[in-house]
Amino acid sequence: MSDTFVPVTKNPPAKVKDPGIIALVMAGAGVYNAKNAELLLLPEGRSLLSQLRESFFASLLSGPGFQPSDCMDSETAVYSLAERYVRECGDRALLWSQSQNRLFRMHGWFSDFKAAGGSAAESMAALKNALSAQLKDVSFVTKIVPKKERTWMIAAETEKGAERAEAGYRCASCGEIFCADSRFESKEAPVNAGAAAEPVTDVHTPGTHTIQLLCEYLNIPIETTLKAMLYTVESPGGGKKLLFAMIRGDRDISVSKLSAWLEANDPGATFRRAETAEIVESFGEVAGFCGPVGVPDNVQMVADVSLKDGKNFVVGGNRPDYHRTGCCWGRDFEPPLADLALFHEGLPCPSCGGKLEETWLRNLGEIGVYQAGAAGETTLSCRDRDGLREWPYRLSAAISLESVLLSIFERRMQKTAV
């Protein structure tokens, strides 16, 4: 080992923002080729990467039972392994792991959603265990993405500008971490839960084109307003319709969550913001004062879960310069519900109600659970004495070992600095 090349340098690499790359290079574990954005690993870095890979293989085998394989990073090759052995070997042939090119992948086939979800939970525990000595603060953050029933992003906090960094939110009270499109499963009370239901009343609100202007004009709290977003949905069959998506006035709609909802309800459909002419065609001349009461039949509606059971909302009046007050969920409008809220700073933590603060998350990889058919994959099946057996649910995961390595070096540098 005395001959190992470890060129420790006191100068950080030029033009690099990622604290992980800076730490790795300064420790002599690799060099960064800024021109091609390539991280070249020297002996120390290569050795740690390979240790990570082997500890993932071992931990995922001993816990959830993923069999290590080398399938040349091919999804079809792993599928062929499962198909070849499942009749003879049963469940043991349904879980495989493989790793090439600094990526670690997991593949699983399951008879039902519960089994797939259970395996995902076991896998996350196994990965956390494998990383426990090197990266203690790894988080599994829920994320709503199209075609996947459940997805978790494997994340480590970092700084803005780091490789694979995306906006994240940390609860100042309980410490839980979320990303912009995390599941918003909260026990918060409905808006005006304790109030008596008022009658629906049309109110003249000239010029209140924004929620802020409306709140000032009527002197009302923002959470009692309703934000309406209109989209044009184009179905794969060529059909076109208007989609009215709504959320509390103090929240924003996540395009990714809306896309996941639409994919589940109208597979293959695409959507974009509706043009004025398209809105006029359905609603008539409403000039931005769209509301959920008295919506034309041909308009599809969806509401964020935060609106459920709320009372006395102030909504668009479906005619220029008018709003309606006293609109109640269930009595006046009740469209299908979906989790649509985009996370942002200041939002209450869904788990404890604490305040969310901004952070940055390095995306180390993702684990997803989904139905093979919905994702356009072949359902694994075989025929045996009992007839046809099927495993329609999938677990798949892709983890960037390079990103894990960068987060480990980032932590090491932070420890030295403290």
CB of 362 to Zn ion, least distance (A): 21
Q: Which is nearer to Zn ion, 174 or 213 (CB)?
A: 174
Could you list the residues that contact Zn ion (CB under 5 A)?
A: 171, 173-174, 176, 349, 351-352, 354
Report the distance separating Cα 272 and Cα 229, nearest Å. Answer: 11
Neighbouring-strand partners of residue 397: 106, 367
Q: Which is nearer to Zn ion, 229 or 349 (CB)?
A: 349
Report the distance separating Cα 372 and Cα 296, nearest Å. Answer: 36
Contact 126, 110 (CB under 8 A): no
Q: Which is nearer to Zn ion, 116 or 177 (CB)?
A: 177
Q: Which is nearer to Zn ion, 47 or 173 (CB)?
A: 173
Q: Which is nearer to Zn ion, 75 or 188 (CB)?
A: 188
Q: Which is nearer to Zn ion, 343 or 370 (CB)?
A: 343
CB of 51 to Zn ion, least distance (A): 34
CB of 352 to Zn ion, least distance (A): 3
Q: Which is nearer to Zn ion, 41 or 171 (CB)?
A: 171
Cβ neighbours of residue 81 closer than 8 Å, sequence gap 6 or more: 69, 71, 93, 96
Q: Which is nearer to Zn ion, 255 or 305 (CB)?
A: 305
CB of 224 to Zn ion, least distance (A): 24
CB of 351 to Zn ion, least distance (A): 5
Report the distance separating Cα 206 and Cα 27, nearest Å. Answer: 64
Contact 155, 361 (CB under 8 A): yes
CB of 184 to Zn ion, least distance (A): 12
CB of 3 to Zn ion, least distance (A): 51
CB of 343 to Zn ion, least distance (A): 12
CB of 203 to Zn ion, least distance (A): 37
Q: Which is nearer to Zn ion, 19 or 168 (CB)?
A: 168
